[in-house]
Structure formats: structure tokens, C-alpha cells
């Protein structure tokens, strides 16, 4: 091997790599600064260096495959592509070798000196001007190889181009210069490239077999080239990946068991997927989607950060599992997207702003929702199981995704006062509207059984009006954002006046809105005076048929359940005064209205007890439990016989 010749000349930006054998060259700009930016600005995970090197190796194998179409002799007697990773823990060395196209001396200088050749100064200027948005620049300038210097204080690249009888070595410590020297053929690969990393002391864990296997499977498990690992000098090679990417195969060639095995491996789940979505999209965006809806709730479904769990690949190379490919209300979907259009060397920090990813995101979201719609129309029972698991999450989209609100409302399923244990769609609800019914009625709370027993529903049941029972926390929010279904707005039965008089009762013999007797009207006025600032109003109710009282929210503020949620979260300043509705036909109310003025103290106690009764029926506690008990005690005492 010829000794390198050192020179201090800096090649111009336009100079061609016409260096003599054994020449040492200076990078054309401040590489130390560039490497600092690579390590600290572009990549946040050191493991990524292996992904970058494997990506380069896979590309080299792909290039050979294409060139061999015209020149089959390039393959020689070694037609099968491969990537081999070899560990030498004692020497702190990690070697990655491929049998791809390889590089000549000029290609080595150009490819690994791309920064200098393409203009480091221009790159750095544009990097600064981008203010962090380097999505396109990274791929354009091809600086991914330099991530190797995150773990190595020296890198040797030995390469022999397919069909050539020369081999060359590129070496650098990443601090300003690199050398290119000729290599004896016996010391070089028969074809392809060998990258030798002389690891830093703190990078020694990258010589651990199981760590490398995990990184390869997680980040590069589906590149189209088999990857083998040799865990010690002279050791046997063992296959880590077979080079087959399941999502690239036609669906007709993949069995249900293969889908399930892939799902369990990729998602870390142990169930069988309830739904498999496999799409090869072509057109303005080319990508493959392999996604699964679990049949059981994933453990991280309630993650406060509500992150999605779709992995992103670019040309079968893993990029990140943090890309927001699906909106957060679809975070239960597991799987991956493999794009053919995104730059390969793109960081997880910068990828979110890519316009290509934005287009893919929109397309993938539409496809997932479309498949859910088809399942709902094709197999209502299977879809009901999906909704039972993930409906509460899907409904978050009604608060966040206004563009797709109509689709999400169509997908929504509800338990109602008419459904029993079955789920009802809004289309089902709309088909059962009563005469003169102009709204979709709902009651929100945190317990479906208590909601179904609420006195607020009595007048609606008497008229055969179906009411949605909404017991998910998100329900109290999306219904307030002004949605409607087929022109019918959503209306809470615990807010404002019921306005049920126009809807006929099922029992036609019962008066819809009988006159309130004068004595009862006087008693309601007395209750309002006695309660004072505790209520906004006391009025006769047309929603009550069996219960004596209920409490409702005013028309202007939030409904009762939303008010409770906001109050518990400390986001409600002053709670609105409730409205006490009294059933003027209830026997107890009629009898209480008949008490004379000589029973003034009893009437006052009853007024407050009626309000506390309404609070208890609404799931609250009396405002002043001690006073409530004292009043109740006085009332009980009046009914007891005198002590003998």
C-alpha cells in the first residue's frame, strides 16, 4: 500500500476529484462545524448512524441490481445482495459491508466528499437560512453518512467498484481532512463497500450483539436486502433480517397468519387484529400503507400526549415512529407507511413540516376512515366491537377535525334510551324522529345507568323521543361545537326549556300541557323567593312526568355535565345559577301547595329540600349537608307521634 501524501491545498468549489493516488485532501469548509450541526441539530438519536449506513448499503445493492440488467456480468458468481455487520469488541471496531455496486476512486472522493464537492459553504448558508427546516436540504446534500462520526473517532471506507480491478480506501477522523489511498485487492471486498468504524469509548455498547440486532430490526428490518451479523472475529454469520418487506407484496400473496404475525411484531400486541388495511397508493403520492386496528385496547391508548403509533419508512428504511401520520383520534391504529417520495436522509425533527408528508397524512387518514366506513356498512357487529373499544377516541375527532366531522358523525355509534344494549347510528336515530321533532336530544354524564334513570328523560319517554346517552368525557365538548346531523342540531335535555308541547304524547288521552293550578303557581313563586340567589329561576316543567323536581342549566351557559367538568378542572370562574323545574302535576307538589301560611317554616324547609333532592338526582351532593340533615330531621319529626 502506498503511503499517503499530505497537502494543505483546498480544492475549489468547482474542482473535479482528479487527485493523485495516496492524496490527503482538506474538506472545503468548516467540517467540524457541520458535524456539530449534524450531531446536535439534525439527529437526536445516536442509533440513527446504523440506519444511515445500512440505507447506503441497500442503495448500493439496488444500484447494482439495476446496472446488472444491462450488464449481467457485474454480478459475477455472487448474484444475491447482502449486507454484513461484523463486531470486534476487543478492538472497539464495527464493520458494515455490502456487495453492491461499490465505488471507484473518483466516486469515493465525490460521494464521501459530497459536502466539499457540492459546496459546504452554500449548504451551511442555506441551513442557517432554513432556521431548522432542513427537510429537503439533508437529502439534497447527502450528509447522512457523516452521522457515523457520532459514534466513531475514525472511519475507513474500503470500496471496489463492480467490474473494476482497483480498490480504494477513504479515511477520516472528521476533523478537517480525509485521505484516499489505493488498497491491495486481497484486502478489499470482491465487490462493494466495507465501512469500518473505530468506535469512541462511550460507543462501546454498539459492539453488543443484542443491541445491534434490536436496532437493525427496529430501524432497518425491512430494507430489501438480507442483513447478517457476525458477533466476533472468525465467527459464523447469522441472519438478522431476510430482506423481505411484507407490505410490498400483493395482498393476494399474504396469509392472515402472516398479517397477524407482522402486526404482533410491529405493534407489540398479542391479540389478533380486528381490521387489516393494506394499500399500495399511486398517483400524486406513492406510498404503501399496512395498518391494523387492534381487537383489544392498547395499553397506551390513554397516553396524555395522545401520540400516534404509525411508523414511517422511506423506501423500506425506517425513519421514525414519531411522525404524526394519522391524527391523534386515530392513535389506536398500528402499522406503518412506506413512502417512495420523501427524502431518505430526513430527520424525525424536521419531517413533520414536509409538504409531501402532509399530503400523505391527508391521504392515509382518508383511507383509514374509508375502510372503517366500509366495515360499518358491511359487518355491523364487527364494527360495533371496534366502536366499543375505540369510539371514545374517535369522537375526539369531532372536536379537532372539522373537515371530516360529517364522516366521523356517520361513523359514531351511541347507546340510547331506545337501543338497550345495542349501538345506534345517527342515521338510525334520524329514521325514528317523532312528529314535530326538530333536534337530536342527548343527556351527558359519567354513568350510563344513572343517565338512563334520570328524571330529565321522563317527558321524552312519554312522547317516544329517543335520547342519546353520552357517558364519555369528550361527549360534553363536541356537542357544544355546533354540529348537526341532516340539519338537526344536538340539544341537551338538561339545558334550557324542553319545549316538548309540540310533540304529541304516546298516550293521546293525557293532556300535553295542562293548566298549572293557581295554588301550585303561588307555591312555585314562594319556592323561588325562599331559595333566593341559589337558583336562577323556579318554573313548572313539561319534561317531568313521574318525578317531583329536576335541576337544569340555563339556555345560555354550558349544560350540567360540561359545567361539572369545567368546575372540577378549575376552568370555570363562577358557576351559573341552576334552574329548578317542578312537576306541577306531582301529588306531593299539589299537597305541599295546599299548606297554609301558618306552615311558613315547613314550607321554607320544603323549598330547600326540593332543591337538594334535585341536586341528588343529578348526581351532586346537597350544597350544605349539615343544614340539609337538620331540615330533613325537622320534617321527619313533624310526622312522628308525640313522645308518650
pLDDT digits (tens, 9 = 90+) for 177-223: 889 999 999 999 999 999 999 999 999 999 999 999 999 988 788 78
Q: Kindly report the CATH number assigned to the domain that includes residue 75.
A: 3.30.565.10
Question: Would residue 477 count as lying in a domain?
Answer: yes
| Grid cell listed for 141 | 446534500
56 is in an annotated binding site: yes
142 is in an annotated binding site: yes
Identify whether residues 364 and 288 lie together within a single domain. yes
Identify whether residues 261 and 369 lie together within a single domain. yes
pLDDT per residue as tens digits for the range 24-56: 766 544 455 666 665 555 555 788 789 889 988
Question: Would residue 502 count as lying in a domain?
Answer: no
Asked whether the beta carbons of 155 and 174 are under 8 A apart, the reply is yes
Q: Which residue has the cell 449481467?
A: 72
Question: Would residue 512 count as lying in a domain?
Answer: no
174 is in an annotated binding site: no
For residue 434, the enclosing domain spans 386-492
Asked whether the beta carbons of 397 and 391 are under 8 A apart, the reply is no
3-state class (DSSP) for residue 126: helix
Give the whole-angstrom CA distance, residue 525 versus residue 547: 19
Half-sphere exposure (CA, 13 Å, Cβ side) for 329? Answer: 24
What pLDDT sits at residue 3? 35
38 is in an annotated binding site: no
What pLDDT sits at residue 245? 84
141 is in an annotated binding site: yes
CA angle at residue 532 from 528 to 533, to 5 degrees? 125
98 is in an annotated binding site: yes
What pLDDT sits at residue 533? 92
Identify whether residues 44 and 100 lie together within a single domain. yes
119 is in an annotated binding site: yes
φ/ψ of 221, rounded to 5, equals -65, -15
Question: Would residue 563 count as lying in a domain?
Answer: yes
Q: Which of 491, 404, 420 is nearest to 412 (CA)?
A: 404
103 is in an annotated binding site: yes
Walking along the chain (644 residues) 10 residues at a time, the average pLDDT comes out as 32 40 59 58 71 87 86 92 96 97 89 51 53 41 70 94 95 84 94 96 94 88 89 94 88 90 80 95 91 89 79 81 88 92 67 85 96 96 96 95 96 94 94 94 90 93 95 92 91 89 83 79 95 94 92 84 79 79 93 85 93 92 92 88 67
What pLDDT sits at residue 340? 86
Domain count, the chain: 4
What pLDDT sits at residue 405? 95
Query: What is residue 40's DSSP assignment?
Result: I
| Grid cell listed for 567 | 368546575
Asked whether the beta carbons of 323 and 360 are under 8 A apart, the reply is no
What pLDDT sits at residue 158? 97
Identify whether residues 274 and 334 lie together within a single domain. yes
What pLDDT sits at residue 579? 93
Residue 16 CB partners (closer than 8 Å, separation 6+): none
99 is in an annotated binding site: no
Identify whether residues 327 and 364 lie together within a single domain. yes
Identify whether residues 390 and 485 lie together within a single domain. yes
What pLDDT sits at residue 217? 85
φ/ψ of 442, rounded to 5, equals -145, 160
Give the whole-angstrom CA distance, residue 325 versus residue 349: 14
Amino acid at each position: 500500500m502506498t503511503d499517503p501524501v499530505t497537502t494543505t491545498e483546498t480544492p475549489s468549489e468547482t474542482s473535479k476529484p482528479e487527485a493523485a493516488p495516496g492524496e490527503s485532501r482538506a474538506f472545503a469548509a468548516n467540517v467540524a462545524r457541520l458535524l456539530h450541526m449534524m450531531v446536535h441539530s439534525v439527529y437526536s438519536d445516536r442509533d440513527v448512524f446504523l440506519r444511515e449506513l445500512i440505507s447506503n448499503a441497500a442503495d448500493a445493492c439496488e444500484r447494482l441490481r439495476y446496472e446488472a440488467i444491462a450488464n449481467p456480468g457485474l454480478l459475477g458468481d455472487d448474484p444475491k445482495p447482502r449486507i454484513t455487520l461484523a463486531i470486534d469488541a476487543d478492538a472497539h471496531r464495527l464493520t458494515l459491508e455490502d456487495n453492491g455496486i461499490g465505488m471507484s476512486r473518483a466516486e469515493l472522493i465525490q460521494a464521501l466528499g459530497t459536502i466539499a464537492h457540492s459546496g459546504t459553504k452554500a449548504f451551511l448558508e442555506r441551513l442557517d437560512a432554513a432556521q431548522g427546516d432542513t427537510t429537503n436540504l439533508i437529502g439534497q446534500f447527502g450528509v447522512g453518512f457523516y452521522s457515523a462520526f457520532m459514534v466513531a473517532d475514525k472511519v475507513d471506507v474500503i470500496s471496489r467498484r463492480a467490474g473494476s480491478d482497483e480498490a480504494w480506501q477513504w479515511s477520516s477522523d472528521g476533523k478537517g481532512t480525509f485521505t484516499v489511498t489505493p488498497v491491495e485487492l486481497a484486502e478489499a471486498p470482491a465487490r462493494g463497500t466495507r465501512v469500518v468504524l473505530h468506535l469512541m469509548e462511550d460507543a462501546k455498547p454498539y459492539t453488543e450483539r443484542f443491541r445491534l440486532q434490536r436496532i437493525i430490526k427496529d430501524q432497518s428490518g425491512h430494507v430489501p436486502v438480507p442483513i447478517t451479523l457476525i458477533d466476533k472475529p472468525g465467527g459464523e454469520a447469522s441472519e438478522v433480517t431476510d430482506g423481505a418487506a411484507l407490505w410490498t407484496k400483493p395482498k393476494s400473496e399474504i396469509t392472515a397468519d402472516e398479517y397477524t404475525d407482522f402486526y404482533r411484531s410491529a405493534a407489540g400486541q398479542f391479540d389478533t387484529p380486528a381490521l387489516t388495511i393494506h394499500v399500495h397508493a399511486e398517483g400524486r403520492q406513492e406510498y404503501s400503507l399496512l395498518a391494523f386496528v387492534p381487537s383489544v385496547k392498547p395499553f397506551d391508548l390513554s397516553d396524555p400526549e395522545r401520540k400516534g403509533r404509525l411508523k414511517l419508512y422511506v423506501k423500506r428504511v425506517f425513519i421514525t415512529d414519531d411522525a404524526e401520520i394519522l391524527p391523534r383520534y386515530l392513535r389506536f391504529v398500528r402499522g406503518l407507511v412506506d413512502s417512495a417520495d420523501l427524502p431518505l436522509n430526513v430527520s424525525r425533527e424536521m419531517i413533520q413540516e414536509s409538504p409531501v408528508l402532509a399530503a400523505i397524512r391527508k391521504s392515509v387518514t382518508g383511507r383509514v376512515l374509508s375502510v372503517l366506513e366500509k366495515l360499518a356498512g358491511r359487518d355491523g357487529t364487527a364494527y360495533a366491537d371496534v366502536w366499543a373499544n375505540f369510539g371514545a377516541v374517535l369522537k375526539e375527532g369531532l372536536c379537532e377535525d372539522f373537515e371530516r366531522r360529517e364522516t366521523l358523525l356517520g361513523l359514531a355509534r351511541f347507546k340510547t334510551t331506545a337501543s338497550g344494549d345495542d349501538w345506534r347510528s345517527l342515521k338510525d336515530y334520524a329514521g325514528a324522529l317523532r312528529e314535530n321533532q326538530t333536534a337530536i336530544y342527548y343527556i351527558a354524564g359519567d354513568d350510563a345507568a344513572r343517565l338512563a334513570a334520570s328524571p330529565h328523560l321522563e317527558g321524552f319517554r312519554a312522547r317516544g323521543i329517543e335520547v342519546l346517552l353520552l357517558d364519555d368525557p369528550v361527549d360534553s365538548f363536541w356537542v357544544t361545537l355546533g354540529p348537526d346531523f341532516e340539519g338537526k342540531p344536538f340539544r341537551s335535555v338538561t339545558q334550557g326549556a324542553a319545549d316538548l308541547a309540540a310533540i304529541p304524547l304516546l298516550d293521546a288521552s293525557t293532556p300535553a300541557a295542562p293548566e298549572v293550578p293557581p295554588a301550585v303557581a303561588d307555591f312555585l313563586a314562594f319556592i323561588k323567593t325562599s331559595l333566593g340567589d341559589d337558583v336562577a329561576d323556579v318554573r313548572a316543567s313539561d319534561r317531568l312526568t313521574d318525578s317531583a323536581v329536576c335541576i337544569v342549566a340555563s339556555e345560555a351557559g354550558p349544560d350540567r355535565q360540561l359545567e361539572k367538568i369545567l368546575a372540577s378542572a378549575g376552568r370555570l370562574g363562577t358557576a351559573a345559577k341552576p334552574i329548578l323545574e317542578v312537576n306541577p302535576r306531582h301529588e306531593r307538589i299539589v299537597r305541599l301547595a295546599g299548606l297554609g301560611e301558618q306552615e311558613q317554616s315547613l314550607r321554607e324547609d320544603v323549598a330547600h329540600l326540593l332543591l337538594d333532592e334535585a341536586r341528588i338526582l343529578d348526581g351532586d351532593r346537597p350544597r350544605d349537608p349539615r343544614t340539609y340533615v337538620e331540615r330533613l330531621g325537622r320534617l321527619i319529626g313533624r310526622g312522628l307521634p308525640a313522645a308518650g
